[in-house]
Chain A
Amino acid sequence: DIQMTQSPSSLSASVGDRVTITCRASQSISDYVNWYQQKPGKAPKVLIYAASSLPSGVPSRFSGSGSGTDFTLTISSLQPEDFAAYYCQQTYSTPRTFGQGTKVEIK
């Protein structure tokens, strides 16, 4: 199985801050990484697919980068509605695996 190590597990930030979350794969997975946002009591929502592509409707303050084993999700200017949990997922091979999650909290 490919392990996805996500860090940090939690962070505190203020509105307007730039936030970076990283995910490291246990082997090279090209660009087969997706990022999700999950708010309490809700299903996850895809923010980034194929490492760096933004689905229609996702705000441009979200961006993704990386290839191979190291990936990054960046929120350029944190907004009140961005306080949530974030997960990376690899779709390079099965079983599909998720990172452990990052909880973004208000400072």
Chain B
Amino acid sequence: QVQLQESGPGLVKPSETLSLTCTISGGSISTNYWTWIRQPPGKGLEWIGYVYHSGSTNYNPSLKSRVTISVDTSKNQSSLKLTSVTTADTAVYYCARPYGPWADALDIWGQGTMVTVSS
């Protein structure tokens, strides 16, 4: 079955760029679109945005000026880049699959990767 795995640096310096990758296994990236979600420590879930296999994207307006989500179909991966990070960007970052027949509920999640923004 489809599995997702996030990867990337666990520590990023303020003002730098956070870069994460979500690797999709057990299925093709081209059959769906892919979402990024984050969760600051002890807080709730925040939707970052999504990307279709075509490269079409939709971002949360609160992050739109700093975020880029892309796909690499040859590697079956989605990537997240967040520029000019601050301590407020410290969070667990998840990739997830919205499932169309389920009203786009997120039916498959990666295990999440913790990113700390600190000098």
Give A contacts to B, CB under 8 Å: 1, 31-34, 36, 42-46, 49-50, 53, 55, 87, 89, 91, 94-101
Taking each of A43, A50, A53, which has the highest tally of chain B beta carbons within 10 Å of its own beta carbon? A43
- Min C-beta distance of A2 to chain B, whole Å: 11
Alpha-carbon distance between A42 and B106 when the two chains are bound, in angstroms: 14
Task: Give the bracket for the number of chain B residues in contact with chain A.
Answer: 20 to 34
A43 touches B109 (CB 8 A): yes
Sampled A-B contacts (30; CB under 8 Å): A31-B103, A34-B104, A42-B111, A43-B110, A43-B111, A43-B112, A44-B45, A44-B109, A46-B106, A49-B99, A49-B102, A49-B103, A49-B105, A49-B107, A55-B107, A89-B47, A89-B105, A91-B98, A91-B103, A91-B104, A91-B105, A94-B58, A95-B47, A95-B61, A95-B62, A96-B47, A96-B104, A97-B47, A98-B45, A99-B44
10 A-B pairs closest in CB distance: A43-B109, A49-B105, A34-B105, A49-B102, A50-B103, A91-B104, A95-B60, A96-B47, A98-B45, A101-B44
CB distance from A67 to the nearest CB of B (A): 12
Q: How far is the CA of A75 from the CA of B96 in the complex (A)?
A: 25
Chain A residues near B109: list those with CB within 8 A: 43-45
| Chain A contact residues, majority secondary structure | loop
> When the two chains form the complex, which single residue of A32, A44, A101 contacts B103, counting CB atoms closer than 8 Å?
A32
Query: Within 8 Å of chain A (Cβ to Cβ): is B72?
Result: no
Residue of B nearest to A87 (CB): B45
B16 contacts partner chain A, Cβ-Cβ < 8 Å: no
Question: How far apart are A1's CB and chain B's nearest CB, in angstroms?
Answer: 7
Identify the interface centre among B46, B109, B110: most chain A CB within 10 Å of its CB. Answer: B109
Chain B residues lying within 8 Å of A46, measured Cβ to Cβ, are 102, 105-107
**A45, A53, A94: residue with the most chain B Cβ atoms closer than 10 Å:** A94
The residue of chain A having its C-beta at the shortest distance from the C-beta of B102 within the complex is A49
